[in-house]
Structure 1
Amino acid sequence: MEGIIFSLTEGAVRSLLCKLGSLLSQESWLVQGVHGDMQYIKDELESMNAFLRTLTTSEGHDDQVRTWMKQVREISYDAEDCIDEFIHHLGDPSGMGFLRQLICIPGTLVCRRRISIQLQELKVRARDVGERRSRYGVVLLRTVRRGGSRQLSKHASLHLDPQLHALFTEEAQMVGIDEPRDALVSWLMEDDPRLRVLAIVGFGGLGKTTLARMVCESPMIKGADFQCSPLFIVSQTFNIRTLFQHMIRELIQRPQKAMAIAGGKHGHLTEENFKRIERYIMILDDIWTISAWESIRCALPENKKGSRVIVTTRNEDVAKTCCSHPQDWIYKIQRLSDATSRELFFKKIFGSADKLPTDEFEEEVSNSILKKYGGLPLAIESIGSLLASKINRSKQEWQKVCDNLGSELESNPTLEGTKQVLTLSYDDLPYHLKACFLYLSIFPENYVIKRGPLVRRWITEGFVSQRHGLSMEQVAESYFDEFVARSIVQPMRIDWNGKVRSCRVHDIMLEVIVSKSLEENFASFLWDNTSLLVSHDKIRRLSIHSSHKLVQTTSVSVSHVRSFTMSASVEEVPFFFPQLQLLRVLDMQGCSYLSISTLECICRFFQLKYLSLGNTKVCKLPRLLGNLKLLETLDIRATLVKKLPASAKNLSCMKHLLFGHKEQLTRTASVKYLKPCSGVEMSPGVVKNMAALQSLVHIMVKEQSLGLREIGLLQRLRKLNVLFRNVEVNWKAFVESLGKLASSLRSLSIHILDEKEHNSSLDILAYVESPPLLLTNFSLTGKLKSLPPWISSLQNVSRFTVRKTQLHAKAIEVLGDLPNLLYLKLYHNSYVDDCIVFCRGKFTRLCMLVIDNLENTDTVHFEEGSVPNLERLTLSFLREPKDGISGLQNLQKLREIEFFGSIILSVMNKVVSCVKTHPNHPRVIGDKWNIVTEYA
């Protein structure tokens, strides 16, 4: 827990120290007046921060330490708010004229006097907190690490490992385990003399330990000539020497013993012990880190006797390290199906899966619980046991449990094991990730969290630390990937290169995170019952999940809220919205009730850095938008906004300008359509001051636009999406800008609209003198006689999309030689020949191919040896190809053929018939406007 507090506190202190240091270096007369107070607060917080860092190396912190940490954090937040207000009123005196200075001085003096009083109060608070540490004995306990290895404290050694309960689950209660158990047993029993490692990986509570134990207890394993089959529990804190001493004892001295816990003193580790080991099978349960595995693996005997090691872990990176040889296997354990979840649930409540709820109400409550916690055996078993323990199984009692599962998880002993197992994943996070993970509590249940917005919000909140050689976005994305690798969040949409684009948090894990967020005053919540959940007199982050009208009263102060998130289901903007003067993050995505007065109010939030109004009915941004001088992200995708106000030129801190409206035409989002009304027009002079801009997505360039040359000034620009209309006179400026951005651009999308009427062409791209050769994503819409010659030099491009380009076979050959191309999307009118052939040796890494409504196509053919890694083929036809689709049998890794749009059944039936003899048995599905039908 103290790691959580430290993560939040250290982040708050670090942010403040940077601002104080910057201010103290100025010689402004305004700063000089409060210089002493600022310097005192800075010195105190630096000392506190050093002490905080030392605290992370000690363990067993009591309530005094945790309370002191929270007090430091609150002082840091309040001091930062004060400093931010001071900076806001300080402005830039050097740029003020003499007359303006005279006019502003009286008001500035009043502001300085008020802020000076606040700083003096903070100075006293900082001194008191420092003295309180000594007065109440906030001291360091002994450190955890000695000599590079983690030691078990007395407290830890007496603590019952929450994994243990899984070992004693009654076999009669187990469901859904037979099929995976038999598959793993068969693999383990294969005739192979090499040491083979099986890693079972998955989310906490899915039953990894139970499955591993059942594998070792199967008759085939027990009947084999393994010397022994022990189970070793490797907890988060283990001593490697003690672990091996105990393993030797179990493997040799007492081979019949089935379970042991590392941690005691059991003799000595000798070379002779290893020589006596023959064929063995062992389980190393709950491996948390790569270093832990490497410490164990280097000492495991490799005697070519067919030994087996089973590892369970929550971390995919650990599993990959454990299974680094071709003979090893990673098994990803899956959630229980709905039917199996119900079977387990009713077994726990009624003692038999055959006995069902007696009335409609019990059935309703059961369905509600299973919808929330279904698929997670540990949670189902615990909640089932809780309901079974209720002597009075009345409707009121069941409903009470269902409505208060969050609080039950906190206080009910029956659910303690579940809470501990889920909390282990969270507690194991390094301190710099804990605040990022707590941030997930602000999203409602079942919410699909998109990667891009989440990492941008983390950065805005100050949770991301700078690393040498990496951008803040790259560091934040590594945080997201680590959550995925640790199986803490569930991937929802995964690109075919393995990159997770969105995720969700399991409902029961979300309960744990919300509980911790409230405990640490990280976030506060307004739920459907209109009750405000808050644990402190000052709210720092507020999330409204209500689907009803809000209660328009609250006694809690909201003037210190830094982050405000309002669910799309909220029917009105709260009355206290104008009070949120210190907001850094504002997310009102999907909200339908945004009035002009609300938008104008936003322009007074001078600290705002992140603003999302996407998917709303907003049609015009306020004239004073430029007042948000610290704004870094403006997301107005899927709105009716057509133009930025002239004041946007003052947004000099802007990093991400996101416009446009894409519609997903398939459930997998493999096919998207950019609506013609997309794009926001940029007035001349708007972007030239945005030197930090990284993303400029879907801007509209119309005739006589002067903004194209300004784009070339954005030397940090990584993503550029441009829509052209009536643009012949602007091509030269655009080509020059592309040449200036050659070293920074990674994603480029160019769309020409109304090209038939105005006869525009993309052929001008051939004349780019310094082409953007570092592109990873490239999309073109518009006429193109042939691909620009530099396309063949795009060694890094992984996505290539064309629409209305009218290309020929030669272009397909060029694209087929791109070494890292993973996605190819050939949309409507992108290819005009009647035959499209994928030749042998081409598209060697391509894993997804989209062919959409190619009007002239009579033949689609895949030669033997072509597209060897293709896994998904997505197709749509305006008419049936005369010669059909041939060569599907040559696509050895094909897993899915997806038809979308207006599906032609005759084409579908021929493909279904063809894949029946395919060695990989790919499935064939039809996705007609997101209504999916499976055909094979």
Structure 2
Amino acid sequence: MEGAIVSLTEGAVRGLLRKLAGVLAQESSPAQRVHGEVQYIKDELESMNAFLRSVSTSPEDAAGHDDQVRVWMKQVREIAYDAEDCIDVFVRGRSHPAAAAGDEGRLVASLRRFVRLLAGALGVGGGDRSVAAQLRELKARARDAGERRTRYGVSLAAAAVRGGGGSSSSGRLDPRLHALFTEEAQLVGIDGPREELVGWVMEEEPRLRVLAVVGFGGLGKTTLARMVCGSPRVKGAADFQCSPPLVVVSQTFSITALFQHLLRELIQRPRKAMAAVAAAGGGGGDLVAYDALQGMERWETAALASKAEGIPARQKLIILFVAEFVHICGTITLYRYIVILDDIWSSSAWESIKCAFPDNKKGSRIIVTTRNEDVANTCCCRPQDRIYKIQRLSDAASRELFFKRIFGMADAGAPDDDELKQVSDSILKKCGGLPLAIVSIGSLLASKPNRSKEEWQKVCDNLGSELESNPTLEGTKQVLTLSYNDLPYHLKACFLYLSIFPENHVIKRGPLVRMWIAEGFVTQRHGLSMEQVGERYFDEFVSRSMVHLVRIDWSGKVRSCKVHDIMLEVIVSKSLEENFASFFCDNGTELVSHDKIRRLSIRSSSYSSAQRTSNSVAHVRTFRMSPSIDNIPFFFPQLRLLRVLDMQGSRCMSNKNLDCICRFFQLKYLSLRNTSVSILPRLIGNLNHLETLDIRETLIKKLPSSAANLTCLKHLLAGHKEQLTRTSSVKFLRPSSGLKMSHGVIRNMAKLQSLVHVEIKEHPSVFQEIALLQNLRKLSVLFYGIEVNWKPFLELLNMLSGSVRSLSIDIFDAQGNISISSLEMLSSLVSPPIFITSFSLTGKLGSLPPWVASLRSVSRLTLRRSQLRADAIHVLGGLQNLLCLKLYHKSYADDRLVFPQGGFARVKLLIDDNLVNLEKLHFNEGSMPNLERLTLSFLREPKDGISGLNNLLKLKEVEFFGNIVSSVVSKVVSCVKDHPNHPRVVGDKWNIVTVYN
């Protein structure tokens, strides 16, 4: 967790250093007079920053630093935050009105006034005395922090001595060791996974096979691997010539350390066990045996190998493998071996160790456990290798394990008290199918003298504090914290940021990435946009199994996730400890650890806005409020230093609450999505740092004229799409929900990357303004195709053909109907958008424009009311990268829809929605060989039905939605009964899901 402190602190200092450098770059006379003073502050902070980086990358960081280091780092971070806030306020000065007026001379004059204020603050010239006092205090605090580090001996060396440099000196056991000693009778839900893996191990495959078990920490990967090797089929295999020791590959992996661990496992642990037995019998035990390994940390690898003498031959063989002394034993290739490598954290660790296990063509096996999917893919890169993704326990298995742990029996010991069952359901919901959490909390409840509802409810309500203080839950906390500690330096603040979302909240990928960027957590990389870098951060959490996946789209991209409730408790605790975030929770509880709140999340409707918090909210950088809150808090207008304001779903947010946000001059992210707001404030243009404006699912129809000053805006998101299925694959844009664009509003928004659901009808010049946005990547436009608009619209498409990657066009006539044909105009494009990856078109065509066949990069294609014929299906079937095809209402005009052999080779999702003329839907043999999900909706039963489903060999699900026709569903259920892949059939009627087979 120290890495979190360092990451947060170094990030805060880095942001301030940039601003101090800007002051030093000023050539005005006042700036020159304060040059020496500002340079002192900058140099001091740079030195602190270098120390922080050393702390983060030192070997001791894995073991943890002492309290002095933690406290010092927190103090530095608070100084940097305060200084940055102070400078932001003064830099703004009177510059904001000038910027809003577009007068560069006033802006320059305001900047000069700030320099004079800074000069006065540092005692060089005049200036406001309160300004001077604040900045003199900050300078003194920076100087004192530097001196304090020396005065109290805060250093890496001191931390290493006091911390011991390793976990062994702390006296704590490795929390993963519980998996070594769990009795099989206590396990639940392991039989199926174990038998599947045993089958992989025992398959007739002479080549070396690696089996990787991957999943979230605490799911039981180590236990499963041990059960596989301990199964009668594997143990009874006479050709396995060695007993598998459990090899724990730590986060700080090295060959030597691994070798030392093996020696301890194979020599020391059995002798300790014997000594314990002897001591229990009164003999005192033979402790002299432990002397054999004293001082082993200093031994060379050869000396370590020599100590393998005396170990049984079959176990010594594994030692020789791992120590990379394969050449010592010439008969090594005669044996078939099986080993477990537990908890591998990085691909580099695997690369270092894999050469120690030769493929002797004897059917040897390596079982790897890891939390990282990328590591699993690296380990299992050959055709014969296998990856097993371990799943959470089902509700029934979770309940069985829980009551078995408390009462000793799964059913007979379950409580008869309905209230106790209700509390246990709440506890199990928090455990989320995590065996480690279920066992730990069950053990805690079993130790309570009174098994009452009140006692159990207290544990459920205070799980966060129990994790902090109760020894029974310490192992669970350590296991979860291991995943956090292994995060790269730049990801720790990003993951800690997830603590602002409440339990069971679905976190969407796009908004989260934009919040990270607004907070300054995402670092620019050459050749990538900030959004692309942020998405890679998100993918890291997915790969490391640190979040639970909620929605995966047709391309395999994770669109949303949740944080496990127990993991959320851990990061909330750490957020409070480091003053990263504060929380207002149930019953008015305030979880605040510092007098200055930096990020604030109001989570419960029971929090009253009438409450008066004693903590300062003037320094809050992120504010988020749950939808259940009834009133805007009284302190809302005081949040003037906000970077992120997330009010999504807050029904209490109204027009009258919005005026004050125009004074939040540092605001970069503003989400009013799904609120009752209908008009944006007249002075919204004052937010000249704003990067994201999300007004989707609101009543806002138009931007005020001052929005033209939002020159930093990158994402303008409007419109209202309804989700018609649980998977969000079927969406419908509400009529007239687009944002009406007026002349001149977006002319200066040169940084725009996303312009979503804008409506253009009366001002064709808006097309010309959009055409100048060369950074635009996503464009969704509702276009009224009156004659005067056609030419500028086509010019826009020509000018943006090389930059836009996602294009959505809705074409209507002057009355808002789709009656005019747009085929002729679209066919006349000189430079069609051939690089787009997503294309959606609502409008009458009859046939496809010729350039559609050249869309070689398109992966998603959506058509509505296009009235295509059979020849268009053959064209679409040739799009080599198409993964998702959505044919909505009136997109197809013929009565037979036949998908040809060899067509749609990569399509995974097909949607057919209310094709009114359709009488037959057929899939030829060899068509859509990779189709996994077929989503259908019918107004009536097609006369000739649906056929050829057995030709879709990878089909996993047939989904019906909307007004479901039961006769069609019944025939499909009957048809897929003989399908080799056994796809399920589901009905989603207004998000009420029914499974039919």
**2:248 corresponds to which residue?**
233
Tell whether 2:52 aligns with 1:21: no
CA contact (8 A) 2:919 2:945 kept: yes
2:91 to 87, 96, 104: 87
Q: Mark the CA change 1:587 to 1:274 in structure 2 (over 3 Å): closer, same or farther.
A: farther
Answer whether contact 2:811 2:818 (CA < 8 A) is retained: no
Aligned mates of 1:302, 1:253 — CA distance in 2? 30
1:490 is matched with which residue: 534, 543, 548?
548
Say if 1:640 and 1:762 are closer, same or farther in 2 by CA, change over 3 A: farther
In the TM superposition, 1:249-288 aligns within 5 A as 266-268=304-306, 269=323, 270=325, 271-273=327-329, 275-276=331-332, 278-288=335-345
Q: Which residue of 2 aligns with 1:141?
A: 157
Q: Distance in 1 between matches of 2:377 and 2:114?
A: 63
Confirm or deny: 8 A CA contact 1:230 1:257 kept in the other structure: no
Is the Cα–Cα contact under 8 Å of residues 743 and 763 in structure 2 kept in the other structure? no
Q: What is the alpha-carbon distance in structure 2 between the residues aligned to residue 100 and residue 870 of structure 1?
A: 58
Please, which of 114, 131, 134 is the counterpart of residue 118 of structure 1? Answer: 134
Secondary structure at the residue paired with 1:141?
A: helix
Say yes or no: does 1:848 pair with 2:909: yes
Q: Is the 8 A contact 2:95 2:107 kept in 1?
A: no
**Alignment-mate amino acid for residue 204 of structure 2:** D
The aligned amino acid for 1:864 is E
SS in 2 for 1:565: strand
Partners of 1:106 and 1:309 in 2: how far apart?
69
* CA offsets 1:361-383 (integer angstroms, 9 cap, x no match): 22121111012113111101010
1:877 aligns with 2:928: no
Distance 1:388 1:726 in 2: 71
TM superposition shift of 1:96: 5.0
Confirm or deny that 1:920 pairs with 2:981: yes
Distance in structure 1 (CA, Å) of the matches to 2:106 and 2:599: 41
3-state SS in 2 of match to 1:457 = helix
Q: Structure 1 residues 394 and 159 mapped into 2: Cα distance closer, same or farther (>3 Å)? A: closer
What residue is the counterpart of 1:469 in the other structure? 527
Partners of 2:178 and 2:111 lie apart in 1 by 69
Structure 1 residue 330: deviation in Å? 0.6
C-alpha deviations, 1:51-86, integer Å up to 9, x for none? 211222321422111111111111111111111112
Q: Offset at 1:254?
A: 12
> Equivalent residue for 1:66?
70
Task: Tell me the distance in 2 between the aligned counterparts of 1:642 and 1:263.
Answer: 73
Secondary structure at the aligned position of 1:573 is classed as: coil
Correspondence list, 1:26-105, <5 A: 26-28=26-28, 31=31, 34-58=34-58, 59=60, 60-89=64-93, 91=95, 96=103
Task: From the superposition, tell whether residues 533 and 255 of structure 1 become closer, same or farther in structure 2 (CA, over 3 Å).
Answer: closer
Cα displacement (A) at 1:552: 2.1
> How many residue pairs are counted as aligned between the two chains?
930
C-alpha distance in structure 1 between counterparts of 2:408 and 2:514, whole Å: 49
Q: Name the CA distance, whole Å, in 2 between partners of 1:318 and 1:694.
A: 34
Deviation at 1:908, TM superposition (A): 1.5
Q: How far apart in 2 are the matches of 1:698 and 1:210?
A: 51
1:440-451 matches, cutoff 5 A: 440-451=498-509
Q: What residue identity is the alignment partner of 2:853?
A: S
**AA of the residue aligned to 2:920:** T
Q: Deviations over 1:783-829 (max 9, x none)?
A: 11322222222221110000001111222111111111100000000
Task: Using structure 2 for the length normalisation, give the TM-score.
Answer: 0.89
Shift of the alpha carbon at 1:413? Answer: 0.4
Shift of 1:669: 0.9
Do the aligned residues in 1 keep the contact of 2:90 with 2:114 (CA within 8 Å)? no
Secondary structure, counterpart of 1:210 in structure 2 = helix
* CA positional deviation for 1:524: 0.2
Q: Which whole-Å CA distance do the structure 2 matches of 1:537 and 1:257 have between them?
A: 51
Check conservation: 1:230, 1:281, Cα contact below 8 A. no
Write out per-residue CA displacement over residues 93-119 of structure 1, whole angstroms, 9 at most, x where no aligned residue. Answer: 897598999999999977952434322
SS in 2 for 1:909: helix
Aligned-partner SS, 2:645: strand
What CA distance in whole angstroms lies between the structure 1 residues aligned with 2:200 and 2:177? Answer: 26
2:177 aligns with one of 164, 174, 184: 164
One-letter amino acid of the counterpart of residue 790, structure 2: W
SS in 1 for 2:175: coil
Please give the per-residue CA displacement for 1:157-205, whole angstroms capped at 9, x wherever unaligned: 9642211012212222111111111111112111111111111111111
Shift of the 575–32 alpha-carbon distance from structure 1 to 2, 3 Å rule, reads farther
Change (3 A) 1:757 1:499: closer
Kindly indicate whether the alpha-carbon contact (under 8 Å) linking 1:823 and 1:846 is maintained by their aligned counterparts in 2.
Answer: yes
Query: Partners in 2 of 1:489 and 1:837 — Cα distance?
Result: 41
Question: What is the distance in 1 between the residues matched to 2:116 and 2:476?
Answer: 58
What is the CA-CA distance between 1:397 and the residue it aligns to? 2.2
Asked whether the 8 Å contact 2:437–2:476 carries over to 1, the reply is yes
Partner of 1:267: helix, strand, or coil? helix
- Paired residues of 2:782 and 2:809 also in contact (CA < 8 A): yes
SS at 1:810 equivalent: helix
Distance (Å, rounded) in 2 between the aligned partners of 1:432 and 1:890: 47
Seq. identity, %: 69
Aligned-pair CA distance for 1:33: 6.5
> 2:911 aligns to what SS in structure 1?
strand
Contact map agreement 1:239 1:263 (CA 8 A) in 2: no
Matches within 5 A, 1:282-297: 282-297=339-354
RMSD: 2.7
Structure 2 unaligned residues grouped into runs of 5+: 119-126, 275-289, 307-322
Structure 1 residue 763: Cα displacement: 3.8
The verdict on how the C-alpha distance between 1:833 and 1:292 changes in structure 2, with shifts beyond 3 A counting, is same
Structure 1 unaligned blocks of 5 or more: 145-150
Residue 658 of structure 2 aligns to a residue whose secondary structure is helix
* Matches of 1:510 and 1:202, distance apart in 2: 17
Which residue of structure 2 lines up, in the alignment, with residue 667 of structure 1? 726
Conservation of the 8 A alpha-carbon contact between 1:37 and 1:120 = no
Correspondence for 2:672 among 613, 617, 629: 613
d(CA) in 1 for partners of 2:260 and 2:566? 38
Matched residue, 2:698: 639
Equivalent position SS for 1:348 = helix
Q: For the residues of structure 1 that align with 2:604 and 2:305, how far apart are their CA atoms?
A: 60
CA distance in 1, matches of 2:114, 2:234: 83
Gap change, CA 1:105 and 1:212, over 3 Å in 2 = closer
- What residue number does 1:147 align with? none
Distance 2:690 2:264 in 1: 63
Query: Which residue in the other structure is 1:348 paired with?
Result: 405
Work out the CA distance in 1 between the residues paired with 2:104 and 2:201.
81
Alignment of 1:639-788 (within 5 A): 639-725=698-784, 727-754=786-813, 756=817, 759=820, 761-788=822-849
Please list the CA deviations of residues 192-250 of structure 1 after superposition, one character each: whole Å capped at 9, or x if unmatched: 11111111111111111111111111110110021122221112123213424765998
> Structure 1, residues 544-591: CA drift from partner, whole Å, max 9, x if none?
002123342111111111110011111111111111111111011111
In 1, Cα distance between the equivalents of 2:545 and 2:296? 27
2:959 aligned residue (882, 898, 907)? 898
Equivalent in the alignment of 1:148: none
Partner in structure 1 of residue 475 of structure 2? 417
1:312-334: CA deviations, max 9, x gaps? 11111111111111111111111
What's the CA shift for 1:757? 6.8
Residues 230, 255 of structure 1: 8 Å contact kept: no
Task: Pick 1 or 2: higher relative contact order, CA cutoff 8 A, min separation 6.
Answer: 2
Structure 1 residues 98, 695: closer, same or farther in 2, change over 3 A?
Answer: closer
**Do the aligned partners of residues 273 and 684 (structure 1) sit closer, same or farther apart at CA in structure 2, a change above 3 Å counting?**
same
- How has the CA–CA distance of structure 1 residues 171 and 157 changed in structure 2, closer, same or farther, with 3 Å as cutoff? same
Give the drift of 1:155. 4.5
Matched, 1:182 2:195: yes
Cα 1:227–1:245, aligned 2, differ >3 Å: closer, same or farther? Answer: farther
Q: Report the equivalent of 2:212.
A: 199
Corresponding residue for residue 535 of structure 1: 593
